Structure 1
Amino acid sequence: MKYTQIFRGTAFTSDTPTKLNILNDYLYCVDTKGMLEKIVAPDHADYKPLLAAYEGRENFHRLADGHYLLPGFVDLHVHAPQWAQSGTALDLPLYEWLNTYTFPLEAKYSDLVFAKNVYEDLVNTLLANGTTTALYFATVHKEASILLAEICAKKGQRGLVGKVVMDDPEQNPSYYRDKDTETALADTEEFILAVKELAKTVKQGVYPVVTPRFIPSCTDEALKGLGKLAAKYDTHIQSHCSESDWAHNYVQERFFTHDAFALNNFQLLTDKSVMAHCNFLDNEDAALFAKTGTAIAHCPLSNAYFANSVLPIASLKAKGIDIGLGSDISAGATPSLYDNAKQAVVSSRMLEDGVNASLPADKRGVPHSRITINEAFYLATAGGGESLNLPIGRIQENYTWDVQIIDTRVSTAKLPIFDPNEDLYNTFQKIMYNVRPENIREVWVQGEKVHSRKMEVVPGG
């Protein structure tokens, strides 16, 4: 038979940042490589012949009533080691949070048994929340960072993993940093080569990522060397950029310029770069991002805790910058991009309306800042794919078959859909605002099922 898998059902996918595409009762034909080779509408001439050829076979999947397809989510910013502290100490300032809680925790990942326990649980949890691709910060430890890539490979998640570089002895604690700059760069190169070798055997792909933690943690020599390594091996690049008042001001004092230009001077802004947060970009910074093709990982929940501002998504998108969503575990306490999509909408409304009631309404906010749930969905899916320059994040021909199957009728998390003729766009909105992990029935990555929950029999359902 020509197709490895065929699915029949209704799917929601982004057409543009603002427009949702609803594919009602279509067929989705997946090839041996896990790519969506063909989408067939019910009125297409091939629809009935394909049904006759495949229906009833083991590789034919007809979605049950109340089940819908969404693209797998793309999480552009995950601190994998911080999963072990998620939900703690979020009342502290960023610098204190890092030094009191985060760095001591990350130092523990020299213990590979501990690392394996946390990383396996994290990848399982993200898959169960519909995240099929994740861009990970690991730790300074080369072996544990390779282990994270191996776990992604084994569990079927598309993982982009970075061995973190923190080599500046003046800015990093003595118990948690690279031994020296030379070691940091040598370990990074060995890590890149190891993950590239692993990737040869992985259907869904794993990718090494050059990862200076952020400018304050790295010496000039390390930043320069990392830029060269990224160019030599054509890797993705990630870091933090202009996240908070403290971080933004530190770089200005050190380099007499903003993060964006400092990073670019070290060849760290490219069309394969994803910079987290970026709340303090000015117009010149944004123009540089657009020119270099650098994307932004928007982390709305963690921004509320640590960034001292709200990212102006609408303004940055209008300048031609790719933007996707990040959970920023553990500064963002939830592994769910559904939660972050909702927060992206909420934060944008607060930016537009303003929050200081003592100011006149016309002076309280930033006009034209709000985004819709359609746009937040785009950020979690297609926007993430575009940010990584990978054919992911859409239910579209020649894209990977990365999907989540949503059950709106599961008894413990039933969505408020009572009309059997509910408008499908309303159903989509209810999914985005109400889905919990219990609703995510199956998750597929590159044509392989990587997560499933047992079907329940719902009385009267």
Structure 2
Amino acid sequence: MDRIYDKVFRGIAFTSKSPQEVSALEDYLFCLDEEGVIRRILKPQDPDYGTVMAAYSGTEKLHALAEGQYFLPGFIDLHIHAPQWAQAGTAMDIPLHDWLDTYTFPLESKFSDLDFARKVYQDLVTTLLANGTTTALYFATVHKEASYLLAQICADKGQRGLVGKVVMDDKSENPEYYRDESTEAALADTESFIHLVQELNETTKQGVYPVVTPRFIPSCTDEALAGLGELAKKYDTHIQSHCSESDWEHNYVLDRMHKSDTFALHEMGLLQDKAVMAHAVFLSDADADLFAETGTAIAHCPVSNVCFSNGVLPAARFTRKGIDIGLGTDISGGFSPSLFDNIRQAVISSRMLEEGVDPSLPSAERGLPQSRISANEAFYYATAGGGQSLSLPIGRLEENYIWDVQVIDVSAPNAKLPLFDENISMEDLLHKILFLSRPDNIREVWVQGECVHKRT
């Protein structure tokens, strides 16, 4: 044994090798340094396996799973509207534009009250950790102080948070009671927010990151979009927005910009390797090629797409084009804080896209061929795909990746999974976990080598 490890974990783990293939690492040792990074992985056949076990057995540094427990990488949620947690499950049956004006903008305007913001954000981050989400990409609100508060709460609770102060500066498109005071103020507040979060990151083990966040093209002036692109380049920040989300939003941009969201955002400097665009349901082939060329990722939000996006993301086709894809809950366009629910819906929606939904059409004309994704692919999106989308060493259980994991207990009280085949394959076991797990099955959650949630 050539070094001293801060922690050693032992158990069966699942991790994606590719979008289609998952590895089951049976009874492996995962050896961590003080920074929570996996520095060595040992399988039982390795010569040093027994040496490490002998050195750490009986110490507090060894964390061995009990029978019926398994490691999964922590989930990476690429699209959350943090203030909307307060309205989750509300008004899921009205058009997007009406939903924003009637429910969402009035709610988000309340986050000028920091006491209210703290109450909502603390509950949200705690809930997401309990659902296995170790990294979250957040839209906050137009309020710089409340947005920074969300970053502080992520830092305090141990979640890796990427937080954006939302920009909405177009006075003709946003309500007077909820928008940036001016384009100049929006850009100045964004730059100040970047400095604040970068400073906070210096003392946060798991990392918190500022994100340049134009809400979407309909809410922003051209000047703001271009200015945000310049800020992202100046400070090398992540970028997030919405892209070709619904018929209304997609057509609005075509009418105003005379080009698609994709090409308009690209001209403003907002497509790049650290950019994540939510939904992207209506990308043309040329749009998709530009996503692949620039390294821009898609936050696939399968639950919310059913309610608000007027379409199904052709995830399989975009994956074949080489586009990075991760999953997003899109709280509260998506009602559930669980990426388990979105894994399931991603598979279901892809089958509906492939097979079609109009029974009056012949089967050969009803769907879009080669659109289905497997459970393995959906698992990849929620883990490795999310890490790839954010250009961070997360989402995989591999050497030099960060130890972000959830411990799944298939024998949890009141949540026992129906496992009656003693010879079940590891892949079938994983699929049962993905389709049947509930929060009660998530026994522990670790971020950057620190336990941040424990169910007793």
Q: Secondary structure at the match of 2:367?
A: coil
Structure 2 equivalent of residue 33 of structure 1: 35
Cα RMSD, aligned residues only: 0.7
Mapped pair 1:350 → 2:375: no
CA distance in 1, matches of 2:442, 2:321: 35
Letter in 2 for 1:71: P
CA distance in 2, matches of 1:420, 1:65: 13
Structure 2 equivalent of residue 185 of structure 1: 187
Q: Which of residues 279, 284, 287 is equivalent to 2:286?
A: 284
CA distance in 1, matches of 2:194, 2:413: 45
Alignment of 1:208-357 (within 5 A): 208-357=210-359
Q: Secondary structure at the match of 1:433?
A: helix
Structure 2 equivalent of residue 458 of structure 1: none
Structure 1 equivalent of residue 403 of structure 2: 401
CA distance in 2, matches of 1:431, 1:284: 38
Mapped pair 1:416 → 2:418: yes
CA distance in 2, matches of 1:81, 1:59: 38
Mapped pair 1:71 → 2:73: yes
CA distance in 1, matches of 2:140, 2:395: 23
Q: Which of residues 151, 154, 171 is equivalent to 2:153?
A: 151
Structure 2 equivalent of residue 444 of structure 1: 446
CA distance in 2, matches of 1:375, 1:320: 14
CA distance in 1, matches of 2:426, 2:267: 48
Q: Secondary structure at the match of 2:39?
A: strand
Q: TM-score, normalised by structure 2?
A: 0.99
CA distance in 2, matches of 1:20, 1:272: 25
Letter in 2 for 1:157: Q
Q: CA deviation at 1:62?
A: 1.0
Q: CA deviation at 1:59?
A: 1.2
Alignment of 1:370-409 (within 5 A): 370-409=372-411
Q: CA deviation at 1:419?
A: 3.1
CA distance in 2, matches of 1:195, 1:8: 35
CA distance in 1, matches of 2:421, 2:376: 22
Summarize deviations over 1:274-316 as a string: whole Å, max 9, x none: 0000000000101111111100000000000011010000111
CA distance in 1, matches of 2:186, 2:415: 47
Identity among equivalent pairs (%): 66
Q: Which of residues 121, 124, 138 is equivalent to 1:122?
A: 124
Q: Secondary structure at the match of 1:105?
A: helix
Summarize deviations over 1:4-52 as a string: whole Å, max 9, x none: 1111100001000000100011111011110011110011101111110
Mapped pair 1:163 → 2:165: yes
Letter in 2 for 1:399: Y
Q: CA deviation at 1:424?
A: 2.0
Letter in 1 for 2:80: V
Letter in 2 for 1:22: A
How many residue pairs were aligned? Answer: 454
Q: CA deviation at 1:425?
A: 1.8
Q: Secondary structure at the match of 2:109?
A: helix
Letter in 2 for 1:418: F
Q: CA deviation at 1:411?
A: 1.6
Q: CA deviation at 1:176?
A: 0.4
Structure 2 equivalent of residue 98 of structure 1: 100
Letter in 2 for 1:408: V
Summarize deviations over 1:155-200 as a string: whole Å, max 9, x none: 0000000000000011000100001111000000000000000000
CA distance in 1, matches of 2:128, 2:205: 19
Q: CA deviation at 1:420?
A: 3.5
User: Which stretch of structure 1 is more off in the superposition, 325-334 or 409-418?
Assistant: 409-418
CA distance in 1, matches of 2:58, 2:443: 21
CA distance in 1, matches of 2:419, 2:426: 11
Structure 2 equivalent of residue 430 of structure 1: 432
Q: CA deviation at 1:422?
A: 2.8
Mapped pair 1:113 → 2:94: no
CA distance in 1, matches of 2:53, 2:287: 53
Q: CA deviation at 1:427?
A: 1.2
Q: CA deviation at 1:418?
A: 2.2
Summarize deviations over 1:59-94 as a string: whole Å, max 9, x none: 101100000000000000000000000000001100
Q: Secondary structure at the match of 1:413?
A: coil
Summarize deviations over 1:324-351 as a string: whole Å, max 9, x none: 0000000000000000000000000000
CA distance in 2, matches of 1:432, 1:113: 37
CA distance in 2, matches of 1:365, 1:420: 38
Letter in 1 for 2:10: R
Mapped pair 1:195 → 2:197: yes
Q: Secondary structure at the match of 1:185?
A: helix
Q: Secondary structure at the match of 2:165?
A: strand
Summarize deviations over 1:412-449 as a string: whole Å, max 9, x none: 11111123443222211110001100100000000000
Q: Secondary structure at the match of 1:89?
A: coil
CA distance in 2, matches of 1:291, 1:58: 47
CA distance in 2, matches of 1:8, 1:287: 42
Letter in 2 for 1:289: F
Mapped pair 1:366 → 2:368: yes
CA distance in 2, matches of 1:350, 1:283: 21
